A and B are shown apart, each in its own frame.
Chain A
Amino acid sequence: MIDDDLWSAVGDPTRRRMLDLLLTEGGGTATTLSERLPVTRQAVAKHLVVLDRVGLVHVTPAGRERRYEVDEAQLARAVAQLAAVGEAWDARLQRIKRIAERIQRDRQAGVEQS
């Protein structure tokens, strides 16, 4: 599994909305998803191919259609990676804030004393 592809797959807002629908409804087809989204069935089908390729959905035949379900372990893996990087930067930015504000206070105190 190439992680770049995972990132791209969940980085698209339509695909995230699709994952959301598949999660809350326990699965769906290109047709049922397109009924809930402002995109064509063809566009949904293309997004499903992307999600399938990175292992974020499982496919099973359902009559003339294909039924998709979210691979929750794979989704959790993708999101954990995003979360880890985001959280690491949140912590760093908070440290930047603390350091800058401390320097600012020290300098102001210095000015007032002199």
Chain B
Amino acid sequence: MEYGSIERELRIDASPEVVYEVVSSPEHVREWWPDEAEFDPVPGSTGRIVFGDPASPEAKVEQLTVVEADPPRRFAFRWVHERGVPAAPGNSLLVTIDLVPSGGGTLLRFTETGFRERGWEAAVLEQAYADHSRGWDHFLPRLVARATSLVARP
């Protein structure tokens, strides 16, 4: 088991070709993730994604390197490595999206690994600490079940 990983699976009523386009093309990536995305969806290509107004000094810029691009089956990339440094295990998070045809639609399998090696500061981009405002009473009873489902999802 890879301890530092997030795994998800979801069914989408669209063909693998369409889903592949959505997960890999910068125009669509901008619709579901950052405010700006610039990269070529080909293996080895490095680009960047920007959270916030790209013109603002407060914008958060992250590097992204495409690892695998095998339409319409698999798209994988590494992100959060430092600028100018080649993406590798230990300095980045690896996102892998596998697409499997399923009854006229697509089964999307998502994994993100590398947290243990990379650390949390970079991984937790989007108001990671918002959860801390929740009270302990609400939180504690759900803690272990929650951690189990998040980390150990088979």
Q: Please list the residues of chain A having a beta carbon within 8 angstroms of any beta carbon in chain B.
A: 2-4, 6-8, 10-13, 16, 19-20, 23, 72-73, 75-86, 88-90, 92-97, 99-101, 103-104, 107
A36 to B56, CA, bound (A): 55
Judging by beta carbons under 8 Å apart, are A95 and B147 in contact? Answer: no
Interface residues on chain B, number (Cβ under 8 Å): 52
Judging by beta carbons under 8 Å apart, are A85 and B147 in contact? Answer: no
Q: Please list the residues of chain B having a beta carbon within 8 angstroms of any beta carbon in chain A.
A: 1, 3-4, 6, 8, 10, 12-15, 18-19, 21-23, 28, 31-33, 106, 108, 110, 112, 115-121, 123-132, 134, 136, 139-140, 143-144, 146-148, 150-152
Give chain A nearest CB distance to B134 CB in angstroms. Answer: 8
Give chain A nearest CB distance to B3 CB in angstroms. Answer: 3
Judging by beta carbons under 8 Å apart, are A83 and B10 in contact? Answer: no
The chain A residue with its CB closest to the CB of B2 is A11
A104 to B15, CA, bound (A): 7
Judging by beta carbons under 8 Å apart, are B1 and A13 in contact? Answer: yes
Give chain B nearest CB distance to A90 CB in angstroms. Answer: 7
Judging by beta carbons under 8 Å apart, are B13 and A101 in contact? Answer: yes
A101 / chain B contacts, CB cutoff of 8 Å? 12-14
- B18's contact among A16, A94, A104, by CB below 8 Å, is which? A104
A85 / chain B contacts, CB cutoff of 8 Å? 6, 112, 115, 123-124, 128
A75 to B144, CA, bound (A): 9
Judging by beta carbons under 8 Å apart, are A97 and B10 in contact? Answer: yes
Residue among B8, B12, B14, B124 with max Cβ neighbours from chain A (10 Å):
B14
B126 / chain A contacts, CB cutoff of 8 Å? 84, 88
A100 to B148, CA, bound (A): 30
B33 / chain A contacts, CB cutoff of 8 Å? 92, 95
- A23's contact among B21, B124, B143, by CB below 8 Å, is which? B143
- B22's contact among A3, A16, A72, A103, by CB below 8 Å, is which? A103
